[in-house]
Chains A and B, each alone.
Chain A
Amino acid sequence: MSHIHFPDGIIPLYIWIPAYLVTFGIIFLITKTIEKEKIKKLLPLTGIAAALMLIGMSVPLVIIPVHLSLAVLTGILIGPKLGFVVVFVVGLILASFGHGGITIVGINTLVIGSEVFVGSMLFRLLGKKKKLLGVVFSTVIALVISLALMVSVVGYTAGFENALPHTHLEHSHEHEEHIDHHEDHHEHSGELEESISNINYLFFSGWVALILIFVFGIALETIVTSLIVMFFYKVRPSLIDSAHNFANN
């Protein structure tokens, strides 16, 4: 659900490059630790889950204007590791035609990947005994966490306007100082502080309105995820259990 549709050039280098590095680190760890049998078993479902996410974004749903990411669902279906890979792959494909910048893919993968990870791990803990409660709880918590992450990334970027690259050299210098000591930045110049607080006000009052949308979004995504998971349990009970080794324990 929380999807940063930022184009390139807004999020500063010192955020997106480390985000990419961490993403690749995680993917490397995943490829090293995932069992080969699991890949064989889940590769088609992984591809299909990614395809469904992409289709969800390219087939216009005329009636429902909300766009669901169903990342938690993906995590529950194929587990956190392959789920993370799916998020990256989908992000990269979307960026290939300008739907979100290519430099943002790392950040997006981390934010939505956390949703997949938290969601599926919680579900693994809770879903074995109480299925419905497990899904609802895992989805809500996962969404709240990833939203919080997204808000901090956006807020951070928006709040430090001077952290953006500049056309003038003097600004560039200032901005380097900001990165290093951003806690005490208001001591540097009062004028700057004022303008930042203005912007923050403008920006975050917008966010207050957005929080309502978020609550609605979380509710909707949770309902849809729960319905689909329960549907899976009805028609293909072994599927979810095998993704989480429920049957083995």
Chain B
Amino acid sequence: MNISDIDYVAIYGNSKFHNITSSAKVIFTCLVLTSIIISQSLIVQIALLGLLLSLYKVANLSLRIARLAIYPAIFAIIFAVLVSRQGLDYSLYIMLKAVNAALTMILLITTTPYVEVFAVMSKVLPDLLVDVFFMTYRSFFILLDRINSLLKAVKVKGGYHPLRVFLNIRTIAAVLGTLILHALDMSERMYKILELRGYSGKIPIEANMKIHKKDDYFLLSLGLIVLVGVVLQWNIL
């Protein structure tokens, strides 16, 4: 699972959740993240995990995707065990918090294409940042294609062998050199293209983000209920 797989799932995935307007999903994500971060109760974290998993079901996301959350889980466990010594409950709590937060982000990003998330964020972030996001996204895929064809060529030409470390290092250095040169030339060409096409210091986009569907409102209400619930529970304690 890497960025291009994730983007593919987000764009070609088909579910009720995928169809919700991007801005609603981004706001929902913020609400749920806030809830996860401020909640200090294990029970609440377990409940949130349940909620998230059912949303994964709704969004038709495979286990392969949820596996991305294993990494933060392991990290959190190491931390909890090594540092806190607060017993099982506390370790579980720390771990769930990490996993829930990761699951929330992954749910957003596997159901909403990056460009749409950036478009929503363009409403609040400075132009420069948004332009860098878009440029990064475009360049990522162009360069990834390039790398893949370079690596293919290397394998075909026998520049790679699982056991011959020095051959591999030399090959990688060569691939890296080619790639960097290509990237440099590409950046020069893209600069000229920006000039030619009249770039004015901002990549103009149309962010049609009006929340209007029934499901949009449903998701937003869900997010609000979660947050209010967590805040109330927090105050009562």
Contacts and interface: CB of A to CB of B under 8 A. Distances in A.
A212 interface: no
Nearest to A95: B105
Contacts of B55: none
Given A166-B40, A239-B184, A47 B135 contact: yes
A153 to B, nearest CB: 13
A44 B101 contact: no
A203 interface: yes
B37 A13 contact: yes
- Most chain B CB within 10 A, of A96, A165, A202, is at A96
B94 A48 contact: no
A15 interface: no
A43 B139 contact: no
B72 A98 contact: yes
Contacts of A43: 131-132, 135, 191, 194, 199
B98 A101 contact: yes
Majority secondary structure of chain A interface residues (helix, strand, loop or mixed): helix
A97 to B, nearest CB: 5
A7 B143 contact: no
Contact of B40 (A6, A28, A59, A165): A165
Interface stretch (B17-25, B75-83, B216-224): B75-83
A44 B194 CA distance: 9
B101 A5 contact: no
B132 A102 contact: no
B168 interface: yes
Contacts of A62: 162, 168
Interface string A92-112: 010111110111000000000
B63 to A, nearest CB: 15
B175 to A, nearest CB: 10
Interface string B28-43: 0000010011001110
Contact of A161 (B83, B97, B135, B184): B83
Interface of A: 5-10, 13, 27-28, 30-31, 34, 36, 39-41, 43-48, 50-52, 54-55, 58-59, 61-64, 82, 85-86, 88-90, 93, 95-99, 101-103, 158, 161, 164-167, 169, 172, 195, 199, 202-203, 228, 231-232, 235-236, 239
Given A44-B186, A47-B134, A97-B6, 10 more contacts: A7-B102, A8-B33, A10-B79, A50-B135, A50-B136, A50-B139, A54-B3, A61-B172, A228-B180, A232-B184
Nearest 5 Cβ contacts at the A-B interface = A47-B135, A9-B97, A7-B72, A7-B98, A98-B102
18 contacts: A5-B75, A36-B201, A43-B132, A43-B135, A43-B191, A47-B132, A47-B136, A50-B135, A58-B2, A89-B132, A93-B136, A97-B6, A97-B105, A164-B84, A165-B40, A167-B42, A167-B89, A199-B85
Interface of B: 1-4, 6, 33, 36-37, 40-42, 68-69, 71-73, 75-76, 79, 82-86, 89-90, 93-94, 97-99, 101-103, 105-106, 108-109, 114, 117, 126-129, 131-140, 142-144, 147, 162, 165, 168-169, 172, 177, 179-181, 183-184, 186-188, 190-191, 194-195, 199, 201, 237
